[in-house]
Amino acid sequence: MRCSPNVEIKIGVLALQGDVSEHICAFERALDNIDNINNFEVFGLKKPEEIESCNAIAIPGGESTTISRLIDKNNLRSPIKAFKGGIFATCAGMVLSASKIIDDNDVKPLSIMDLEVKRNAFGRQKDSFESTIAIHGLAEPFRAIFIRAPVAVSAGPGVRIIGRLESGIVAAVQDKNMALAFHPELGNDLRLHELFIKNLLNF
């Protein structure tokens, strides 16, 4: 959709496991900050038939193996793969949105973005950390929260890398989609949610 006055937008947050309520709250606040959006709805998405009405889907952080199995149990894999809107994928969502996972055969990736991802790249839960990252498109660095986080070790030619750490790619955009290795929904900085929405509106 092209950016124009009085846009209506609907975002479904995949509500199978993980940081669902945090993403709903963050997107509601981000949408409220964008002037040309006249009306919006953010909801917990659980059923295949709910996808068609969405402009975007968020795949939240959580346990990627569990989310992958629940996607199949709830018959969501094909509708998500066929979805023409934007995907906002964080932490476990980045793993699921990848085209290839190099260290795990239990998670079936959705191949939404042309990324090769390594799960738990920084260790276990106790190795969680925060880091200030320069993000292309943001004027000031972003304070990112990493919890059992992945990294992308390679990206295809259609992927725009917008954030890196020494270990690998931690933020990337492909068309309407954005994948982040960290948890922007856990802080008060809404700039990445807003950046995703504005990019979505410019298609």
183 is catalytic: yes
91 is catalytic: yes
Interacting residues of 26 by C-beta distance below 8 A, sequence separation 6+: 184, 185, 190, 193
The catalytic residue among 116, 183, 193, 194 is 183
Interacting residues of 99 by C-beta distance below 8 A, sequence separation 6+: 109, 111, 113, 114, 115, 116, 156
49 is catalytic: no
Query: Any idea what the Cα angle at residue 124 is, between residues 89 and 156, rounded to 5°?
Result: 40
| Distance, CA of 189 to CA of 187 (rounded, Å) | 6
The catalytic residue among 91, 116, 193, 194 is 91
H/E segment holding residue 198: helix 191-201
Give the 3-state secondary structure of 89-158. Answer: EECHHHHHHCCEECCCCCCCCCCCCCEEEECCCCCCHHHCEEEEECCCCCCCCEEEEECCCCEEEEECCC
The catalytic residue among 116, 185, 193, 194 is 185
Which residue numbers are catalytic?
Answer: 91, 183, 185
